[in-house]
A and B are shown apart, each in its own frame.
Chain A
């Protein structure tokens, strides 16, 4: 509720000091029959930001994008686009444009006519229209496709045309709905970098929907991770990866070992917990919730932050023996499945040395979970 109040305060010109955000959303809800697609989502996207909505399919990210575009109407909540209330503003009057997942290029028009569509609707004079379309075609390198029909284009070319058709209208916010989803991995990686460079160059606010966590990490200034119609955590990619707040974030963004733990004691910034791997010490972040002995909690540790040692040093804290149960060699790293007395654990080791290296299946080693590698989760 306070966010709604805050939005109202921001709308007051006297109170405004910071630039208006590109998108402001307060308690947006959307239900389809019995299914809640969005449950009171509040969000603010800064101007010029590359913002990603990341989540598994069915999490509500596309619905959220469609609501911003005006292609879907929320049941409740407030939406402002560039400071203007979007309620009652139909899709064709909003200063946003969309790159659709299926590209949705008009099959009866050629590439140039597709690009001209939006400008024609806005009654841009023909001379300016032609100039802007040519400029954009050069920018995304599709000038030579000008007279082709969409059916004569490859997937990558269609993607560029769809992008060009949207940005030629110079929208306040560009909405992208998994635009690279249908392309092969190599092209996707190349276009990720191109998209990011394009966004930097144009300075337009991009809102990018994807289910691919790596894609979100590569391009975004900030990411909102969505789950079951809610934003589970919002922040820069590095924050989300290094300090996941929930089990879902820890496991959706990258890979994680999850440990159930019971608090044993607390001394200053350190917590002692009992886990299936024995008693462990961990650092507490500044924002940790109050925990007292006996409380149950959940810990996460990233597999690449699990340290493996061949030597036995009884003075090392958070150490326990384990056996290599299985290993997967992926080139740059080797992924070990370790079997300790308390259970299984994943550990990824970067292959930094030249030549054959690493441990063999069945080998006995020491595992160390360093106190700063343990993350305390909220759930």
Chain B
């Protein structure tokens, strides 16, 4: 390695410090024996043990996982179909439909959340269904997850050599066989990457969850928010650290999937 510009190295270090300092502090303090204050009073796993004994926290964790799993499964199926359709078929208005796919990605969460709340209340008046709770939360999460899955799946398909499907036809495979034996296996890394991203987004979401939750459907982000209002406690640090670990795990999985299945 040649000596790089010092300015460059320093500025990179500053930016990374800026990015990771908050995370590092939460992680460090989750192991700090001190209940209050900024001083280090020794390493402890006490706060993690407290957390595991906290019935509220465990129930919130269950809700978060249930919400993330349900919404991810639905969004992955629908998003994959959407991504495949947009890649394969050209129809009137294709450009328009492709463009507005990106819109929910850019719309502020809070606008999305308020819109969903309004929609649910209207639907509730008409149908009597859509009581706020786990179902409305799953539906809300699915709406913001679908575009991410569809965009990733479509990008994956666009990157495939079109001659692969032609080769399958040429070797005697009909349309159905070609899809299941060639196209789908090659789509899988994109589908899994989309699913992982959707899962992480759901797990971390606060705004949409907060607006669409009902009694008994508190998730981890909502629990953290309401606890913090009463002051930051070390067991919240421990909870945050676990959530960081879960998200990091999902991100690493996405990267590994894309690397191993490189085509």
Q: A residues bordering B, Cβ < 8 Å?
A: 69-71, 90-93, 96-98, 100-102, 104-108, 117-118, 121-122, 151, 165-166, 169
Contact = CB atoms under 8 A, between A and B. Distances in A.
Contacts of B171: 92, 97, 117-118, 121, 165-166, 169
Nearest to B185: A108
A102 B186 CA distance: 17
Contacts of B163: 100-102, 104
B263 interface: yes
A92 B167 contact: no
9 A-B pairs closest in CB distance: A121-B172, A118-B171, A104-B163, A104-B167, A107-B263, A91-B169, A108-B185, A98-B170, A100-B163
Interface residues of B, number: 20
B174 interface: yes
A62 to B, nearest CB: 12
30 contacts: A69-B166, A70-B169, A90-B174, A91-B166, A92-B170, A92-B174, A96-B170, A98-B170, A100-B163, A100-B167, A102-B161, A104-B161, A104-B164, A105-B167, A106-B168, A107-B186, A107-B263, A108-B182, A108-B185, A108-B261, A117-B168, A117-B173, A121-B177, A122-B172, A151-B262, A151-B263, A165-B171, A166-B170, A169-B171, A169-B172
Contacts of B166: 69, 71, 91, 98, 100, 104
Interface of B: 161, 163-164, 166-174, 177, 181-182, 185-186, 261-263
A93 B174 CA distance: 9
A106 B167 contact: yes
Given A101-B163, A104-B163, A108-B261, 6 more contacts: A69-B166, A91-B170, A92-B173, A102-B161, A107-B186, A166-B171
Nearest to B169: A91
Contacts of B172: 92-93, 118, 121-122, 169
B97 to A, nearest CB: 24
A121 B167 CA distance: 12
Contacts of A105: 167
B167 A98 contact: yes
B28 to A, nearest CB: 42
Contacts of B262: 151
A71 B263 contact: no
A104 B169 CA distance: 12
A48 B124 CA distance: 74
B167 A108 contact: no
Contacts of A117: 168, 171, 173, 181
Most buried by A among B161, B169, B181: B169
Contact of A71 (B164, B169, B174, B177): B169
Contacts of B182: 106, 108
Nearest to B171: A118
